[in-house]
Amino acid sequence: MHSKVFQKPKINKNSTDQLIFREDGLTQLRKKTKSENEPEKNKLIMPCYDDDRPTQQEELLIRKLVDNVEQHERIQVLTELKNLIIGSRRCKLAFYHAGILEILNNLLKEYSCLISIDILVEILDCISSFAKVNNKNLLNRLIELGFIEQILSLLTIQIDSNHFYESCLRCLRSFFLSKIFSNPYLTPTPYILLSDDNKHDTITVLSETESYLSNDKYLPVNILLENSQNLDIFPRLLSISKSTQISIIEILCCACVNNERQNQIVETDFIQSIMHLLVENILYHNKINLVSVTNEYLVGVCLKFFCSICYENAAVARQLHTTVFTQTNETLCEIISSLLNKTNQPVVISYYASKFFINLCKTKVLSCDDSFVSHKSLTTLVHLCTKSTINKSIHLYIACFDTLIYLLNGNNTLHHTAMYTEQFLNKLFCYLFAPTKIFNETIDEAMLIQIRTSTLTLLAVLSSYHEDIKKRIADQDNLISTAIECYRSNHRSLQLAALCLFHGLSRSVHQLRTTFNDTICDVLLDAVKSSDLSLVKIASSVISNTVLEFSTCRARLLSGGILDILLAFLTHPDHDLSINGMWALRNLSYLSTLKIKQDVIHGLTIDRIYSLLEQCTDERFLICLLSLLRNIFNEKDTQIILPMFNSVKLLTTLQKMREKNYSVEISREIRILIDHLNSSNAAPRQRLPSDPVNPSCRTSLFPEYACDEMDELDCL
Amino acid sequence: MHAHFAQPHQAAAAAAVAAAAMAVSNTSSTSSTSEAHALTPVHHTATKTEWMEAIEQQRLERSTLNRLIINYLVTEGFKEAAEKFAEEAGISLNNIDLTSLDERLRIREAIETGRIQDAISLINTKAPELLDQNRQLAFHLKQKKGLLFQQQHLIELIRSNLIDEALTYAQIHLAEFAEEEIKMRQELEKTMALLVFDKPLESPYGYLMQISHRQQVANEINSALLIYQNDESESDLSMLVRMATYMQEKLDNKQLRYPKLVDIAGGKLEDS
């Protein structure tokens, strides 16, 4: 075992600057510090401790652990180790490099056979501390050594020691709550909750942390649930103490990573036992007591479980909706809604209770006009966002915003309800423009970015449908300039959020005519050429709308070469992007000049158009193409453009398409186009008025919006 | 300590909160701004007599006041005092975890007597996740607590004039805190600055070496432990005192004259 030992620093009292000023005192030191260090102040780069090795003393400790010593000495050494590593990342990594994990693994195996509780607890507390380090190599090693399996095995032993079980479960919980393994928002902090990022890839507000794991077998949840009997360990342990209850429920929350795992947990019948705990602790919480708020925490954790278990799982959501607490004959919904009825509820409880109903709404178990959703949950979340401080916790604000995004995205009927208080919008603007003024303590940059991202995205969602809300938001001083500034930051999440806002606003004729200036055009042109596909896709959605004839952006986009870019998108491997490309071309050609139409045709080429008509099986793409052709064959230009296609060949192709078994919408488009072309071929007096050709705004990239919902522009 | 019924100042604090709240709501219509206009006459809310009458009308039960005291003693970790008071006041302590109280008391004593390593050991036995969670969470206050805790050990080394050991300790154990956040770095710089003074106690950062700083750290650890075990981190009495102070500030901002509670500990009111 090689290790580098720290050298003791050699202090030369004449050479160190600080000590020269010992007689002169602090004033001289300040002068020196200010003059020499000021330029460096903001560029101070702290050393990294990840590669540090143990000190001599720490090396000695490791040797003692390995030596064959008496049990009481071993406990002493383990306690000393524990006291060194807890709270010190440097120590943990240094010991890790020295091979401490393997030593602890051997000790754990040895003393598991002997069932030596005191030693096992010390070892488990050490492992629990190691599992809290944000270092993927260390965590992978913990998993490789099989610590999770060993803990699960220990939990099956029948021992009369609550402390032992609490230690085991705390250790297990540390693995599940690790940011490396789990959702970065599911941490011990009660305010950090579920992330919605597994369904909303384009909205990256929630996750910028990549998974460091290359192999699924390293996920604690997979280790736990690969053997379904492992879950059977927990029910017995639920009755031991509040600590075990909290640990188990939080582990189960973390295990709800997908529908399969959720269903597995439901099958083990945790719902009834956790509901029982919930009711028990609500009743206790309601009594006057001056000593303990443990019950409040437990209520919060139980609610978190119900949110996790039904998230994006319609079957489980339906089950929870009908679950009844047999002792009082109340449904789970009634129990949880009673928490929303009470004023001055702890914020965590209010938050999770609201999120529960929102999850039921998103799985369509509850409609969005259900009072649990619109009158209780939504208003509670809005109220939480506007509270002046929530224990100064920025995390809860972010969680509230993200949950509101989740709810309101696709439920535009709730947008006006969300805006029931002007204070809500004002708060959103404050969080966006000057978040540091709201929070008393200094927040680090990562949090700053997160809250601004969530705020901006929420504004984007709110501005995506109703014209009056769009106007209110767009008219806010500094909003557009701030959004542009966010795009120009180096932070991807902020860039995406800014583009989402532009997209929401672009779904309005009025906004296209007034808000979209040259600077936004330049932003879009920049984004659409980005190497980041997510940015390109959202930018392309915005461009789909901003190329419309009445948009102030159109000329600048055309001069910026947007036509070539859109044509290139048609053959892009990403399907959404290719759809966006065709959609944008369609909108571009609406009420367009002859030159632009000719440019589009030349870019596409006649042969390719025919090829697509004959062979394309993607219905969305085909609808866009047919609409594009309709726009191109506008009355006044038909006589010039039609010969480029050979009118007979075109009509024949369309007739053949009509005979195929396309959807109603495609068939309608084909029919309209055929009728239009036929009427164009007829003498002027015989021409029938063509159907009004409405351009369509590209629907939101927010997945809830289906194509046909937003087929019409929002016109004043 | 002999247990006795609530001191007047405790009753006054609770009643003052209620009376002040009433005063604020009654006078809210007189001015909507916090600054008084130069020509606006100063309003009186009540004479001292009226004020005292309002307080007397609050009818605070003695049992409530006793529970306030017990809550204070338990939260701050005064186990013996809590037991004796409970006995004299006839209050049951069955729903209070006295073992936990004892542990917090021992931790407090270890910190206040400078036995920081002992305190660390006790904390890690009672709450093995506390000091790790203080690193993990993004809460500035918890990170600061972690630094303060280690910082105290460094301060003890400086106090004992073990300069070499102090430098080594800072390099090994504290430098990693400094890389996390600038405030921690600043705290560390202040501590290390003590090394340049012949008489650190008389330096601008001498307060770090005062016993009061140990008490501050002990209080913060006590609060953290209470939060960790999901208890209230602050006694109800402390909250009442803060509320009374807040209410009086509100009244002062409105330029209102009232019998101000000038000495909360003594329950002394200012003459209006």
Burial class of residue B87 (count of CB atoms within 10 Å of its CB; 0-12, 13-18, 19+): exposed
CB contact under 8 A, B133 and A55: no
Q: What is residue B133's predicted lDDT score, i.e. its pLDDT?
A: 78
Q: What is residue B172's predicted lDDT score, i.e. its pLDDT?
A: 76
- On whether both A431 and A483 belong to a single domain, the answer is yes
Q: Which residues of B touch A441 (CB under 8 A)?
A: 139-141
Identify the three-state secondary structure at position B254: coil
Using the Cβ of A43 and the Cβ atoms of chain B, whether some distance falls under 8 Å is answered with no
CA angle at residue A141 from A150 to A173, to 5 degrees?
50
For residue B65, how many other CB atoms are within 10 A of its CB? 18
Q: What is residue A269's predicted lDDT score, i.e. its pLDDT?
A: 84
Residues β-bridged to residue A330: A325
- On whether both A172 and A222 belong to a single domain, the answer is no
For A656-694, what is each residue's pLDDT tens digit?
A: 998 888 889 889 989 988 888 887 665 444 444 444 444
Which sequence spans correspond to the domains of chain B? 60-96+231-261, 126-230
Start-end of H helices in A42-87: 56-66, 71-85
Over 50: is that where the pLDDT of A233 sits?
Answer: yes
Mean pLDDT, residues A395-417: 90
- Provide the pLDDT confidence category of residue A285 given band limits of 50, 70 and 90: low
Query: Which residue among A79, A86, A242 sits closest to B131, beta carbon to beta carbon?
Result: A86
In the chain, the amino acid numbered A458 is L
- On whether both A325 and A410 belong to a single domain, the answer is no
Which of A174, A291, A398, A442 to probe by mutation at the B interface, max B CB count within 10 Å? A291
Using the Cβ of A83 and the Cβ atoms of chain B, whether some distance falls under 8 Å is answered with yes
Over 80: is that where the pLDDT of A253 sits?
Answer: yes
Closest residue of chain A to B150, computed from CA coordinates: A87
Asked whether residue A595 is domain-assigned, the answer is no
Mean pLDDT, residues A315-324: 96
Asked whether the beta carbons of A172 and A165 are under 8 A apart, the reply is: no
Q: Which residues of B touch A291 (CB under 8 A)?
A: 71, 74, 95-96, 231
Asked whether the beta carbons of B265 and B8 are under 8 A apart, the reply is: no
Query: Which residue among A189, A291, A394 sits closest to B96, beta carbon to beta carbon?
Result: A291
Query: How many contacts does A have with B, using Cβ atoms within 8 A?
Result: 131
CB contact under 8 A, B128 and A79: no
For residue A229, how many other CB atoms are within 10 A of its CB? 9
Please identify, among A515, A541, A564, the residue that sits at the C-terminal boundary of a domain: A515
Q: Which residues of A touch B152 (CB under 8 A)?
A: none
Residues A635 and A691: their CA atoms lie apart, in Å, by 11
Domain of A129, CATH number, reads 1.25.10.10
In the chain, the amino acid numbered A76 is Q
CB contact under 8 A, B133 and A188: yes
Q: Which residues of B touch A79 (CB under 8 A)?
A: 121, 124-125
Domain of A228, CATH number, reads 1.25.10
pLDDT over 70 percentage in chain A = 79
- On whether both A375 and A332 belong to a single domain, the answer is no
Residues B4 and B26: their CA atoms lie apart, in Å, by 36
Residue bearing the bigger pLDDT, A285 or B193:
B193
Q: What is residue A601's predicted lDDT score, i.e. its pLDDT?
A: 93
Mean pLDDT, residues A44-71: 78
Residues A318 and A331: their CA atoms lie apart, in Å, by 12
In the chain, the amino acid numbered A279 is V
Q: What is residue A295's predicted lDDT score, i.e. its pLDDT?
A: 76
Using the Cβ of A29 and the Cβ atoms of chain B, whether some distance falls under 8 Å is answered with yes
| Secondary structure percentages of chain A, helix, strand, coil, to 5 | 65, 0, 35
CB contact under 8 A, B146 and A87: yes
For residue A402, how many other CB atoms are within 10 A of its CB? 26
Burial class of residue B59 (count of CB atoms within 10 Å of its CB; 0-12, 13-18, 19+): exposed
Which range, A390-399, A494-503, A670-679, has the best average confidence (pLDDT)? A494-503
Residues A337 and A372: their CA atoms lie apart, in Å, by 7
Over 90: is that where the pLDDT of A155 sits?
Answer: yes
Q: How far is CA B64 from CA B25, B87, B92, in A?
A: 25, 16, 13
Asked whether residue A335 is domain-assigned, the answer is yes
Using the Cβ of B172 and the Cβ atoms of chain A, whether some distance falls under 8 Å is answered with yes
Please identify, among A515, A542, A574, the residue that sits at the C-terminal boundary of a domain: A515
Q: What is residue A396's predicted lDDT score, i.e. its pLDDT?
A: 83
- On whether both A159 and A237 belong to a single domain, the answer is no
Asked whether the beta carbons of A268 and A229 are under 8 A apart, the reply is: no
CB contact under 8 A, B95 and A292: yes
- On whether both A345 and A223 belong to a single domain, the answer is yes
Closest residue of chain A to B181, computed from CA coordinates: A444
Using the Cβ of B135 and the Cβ atoms of chain A, whether some distance falls under 8 Å is answered with yes
H or E element at residue A659: none
CB contact under 8 A, B230 and A242: yes
H or E element at residue B78: none
Using the Cβ of A439 and the Cβ atoms of chain B, whether some distance falls under 8 Å is answered with no
Identify the three-state secondary structure at position B39: coil
By residue count, chain A amounts to 716
Residues A161 and A117: their CA atoms lie apart, in Å, by 8
Please identify among residues 12-71 of chain B the ones whose CB lies closer than 8 Å to any CB of chain A.
67, 70-71
Residues A450 and A432: their CA atoms lie apart, in Å, by 10
Query: Which residue among B140, B150, B164 sits closest to A441, beta carbon to beta carbon?
Result: B140
B234 token code pair: 């602050």
- On whether both A171 and A222 belong to a single domain, the answer is no
Closest residue of chain B to A7, computed from CA coordinates: B168
Residues β-bridged to residue B257: B44
Residue bearing the bigger pLDDT, B94 or B145:
B94
Using the Cβ of A23 and the Cβ atoms of chain B, whether some distance falls under 8 Å is answered with yes
Asked whether the beta carbons of B76 and B69 are under 8 A apart, the reply is: no
- On whether both A298 and A233 belong to a single domain, the answer is yes
CB contact under 8 A, A90 and B117: no
Asked whether residue A584 is domain-assigned, the answer is no
Cα dihedral sign, A583-A586-A590-A593: positive
Average confidence score pLDDT of chain B: 72
Q: What is residue A552's predicted lDDT score, i.e. its pLDDT?
A: 87
Average confidence score pLDDT of chain A: 81
Domain range for A433? 367-497+507-515
Residues β-bridged to residue A325: A330
Which range, A421-425, A703-707, B188-192, B199-203, has the best average confidence (pLDDT)? A421-425
Cα dihedral sign, A118-A121-A125-A127: positive
Query: Which residue among A79, A88, A294 sits closest to B121, beta carbon to beta carbon?
Result: A79
Mean pLDDT, residues A403-431: 90
Please identify, among A515, A547, A566, the residue that sits at the C-terminal boundary of a domain: A515
For B64-94, what is each residue's pLDDT tens digit?
A: 888 889 888 888 888 888 889 988 888 888 7
Over 60: is that where the pLDDT of B126 sits?
Answer: yes
- On whether both A337 and A380 belong to a single domain, the answer is no
- The DSSP secondary structure of A548-617, one letter per residue, reads STT-TTHHHHHHTTHHHHHHHHTT-SSHHHHHHHHHHHHHHHTT--HHHHHHHHHHH-HHHHHHHHHH--
Closest residue of chain B to A123, computed from CA coordinates: B128
- Provide the pLDDT confidence category of residue B217 given band limits of 50, 70 and 90: confident
Q: Which residues of A touch B131 (CB under 8 A)?
A: 86-87
Q: What is residue A96's predicted lDDT score, i.e. its pLDDT?
A: 94
Over 70: is that where the pLDDT of B224 sits?
Answer: yes
Q: Nearest CA to A118 among A157, A67, A71?
A: A71
Using the Cβ of B232 and the Cβ atoms of chain A, whether some distance falls under 8 Å is answered with yes
Closest residue of chain A to B141, computed from CA coordinates: A441
Residues A328 and B42: their CA atoms lie apart, in Å, by 58
DSSP code for B263: E
Which of B74, B132, B139, B236 to probe by mutation at the A interface, max A CB count within 10 Å? B132
Residues B210 and B215: their CA atoms lie apart, in Å, by 9
Asked whether residue A50 is domain-assigned, the answer is no
Q: Which residues of B touch A446 (CB under 8 A)?
A: 138
- On whether both A246 and A347 belong to a single domain, the answer is yes
Query: Which residue among B124, B137, B178 sits closest to A189, beta carbon to beta carbon?
Result: B137
CB contact under 8 A, A8 and B168: yes
Mean pLDDT, residues B170-191: 74
Q: What is residue A139's predicted lDDT score, i.e. its pLDDT?
A: 92
Q: Nearest CA to A341 among A296, A309, A371, A306?
A: A371
This prediction's pTM: 0.78
Asked whether residue A322 is domain-assigned, the answer is yes
- Sequence-ordered strand ranges (E) for A379-514: none
Q: Which residues of A touch B92 (CB under 8 A)?
A: none
Lowest mean per-residue pLDDT among A219-223, A318-322, A496-500, A672-676: A672-676
Identify the three-state secondary structure at position A292: strand
Which range, A60-64, A140-144, A212-216, has the best average confidence (pLDDT)? A140-144
Using the Cβ of A444 and the Cβ atoms of chain B, whether some distance falls under 8 Å is answered with yes
CB contact under 8 A, A82 and B150: no
- Sequence-ordered strand ranges (E) for A282-337: 324-325, 330-331
Residues A586 and A632: their CA atoms lie apart, in Å, by 8
User: In total, how many domains does chain A have?
Assistant: 3
- On whether both A74 and A171 belong to a single domain, the answer is yes
Mean pLDDT, residues A16-27: 33
Cα dihedral sign, A383-A387-A392-A398: positive
For A179-205, what is each residue's pLDDT tens digit?
A: 776 554 343 222 222 222 223 322 222
Mean pLDDT, residues A698-703: 40
Asked whether residue A197 is domain-assigned, the answer is no
Which range, A282-296, A336-350, A474-488, A695-709, has the best average confidence (pLDDT)? A474-488
Asked whether residue A695 is domain-assigned, the answer is no
CB contact under 8 A, A29 and B193: yes
Query: Which residue among B129, B134, B136 sits closest to A128, beta carbon to beta carbon?
Result: B129
Asked whether residue A152 is domain-assigned, the answer is yes
Q: What is residue B56's predicted lDDT score, i.e. its pLDDT?
A: 80
Over 90: is that where the pLDDT of B50 sits?
Answer: no
Q: How far is A46 from chain B (nearest CA, A)?
A: 6
Using the Cβ of A87 and the Cβ atoms of chain B, whether some distance falls under 8 Å is answered with yes
SS (H, E, C) chain B: CCCCCCCHHHHHHHHHHHHHHHHHHHHCCCCCCCCCCCCCCCCECCCHHHHHHHHHCCCCCHHHHHHHHHHHHHHHCCHHHHHHHHHHHCCCCCCCCHHHHHHHHHHHHHHHCCCHHHHHHHHHHHCCCHHHHHHHCCCHHHHHHHHHHHHHHHHHHHHCCCHHHHHHHHHHHHHHHHCCCHHHHHHHHHHHHHHHCCCHHHCCCHHHHCHHHHHHHHHHHHHHHHHHCCECCCCHHHHHHHHHHHHHHHHHHCCCECCCEEECCCCEECCC
Asked whether the beta carbons of A365 and A409 are under 8 A apart, the reply is: no
Q: What is residue A390's predicted lDDT score, i.e. its pLDDT?
A: 57
Q: What is residue B42's predicted lDDT score, i.e. its pLDDT?
A: 52
- On whether both A248 and A346 belong to a single domain, the answer is yes
Asked whether the beta carbons of A713 and A515 are under 8 A apart, the reply is: no
Which of A83, A126, A189, A299 to probe by mutation at the B interface, max B CB count within 10 Å? A83
Residues A83 and B149: their CA atoms lie apart, in Å, by 13
Using the Cβ of B120 and the Cβ atoms of chain A, whether some distance falls under 8 Å is answered with yes
Asked whether the beta carbons of B233 and B241 are under 8 A apart, the reply is: no
Pairing of the two strands B268-269 and A330-331: unpaired
For this complex, say whether ipTM is above 0.85.
no
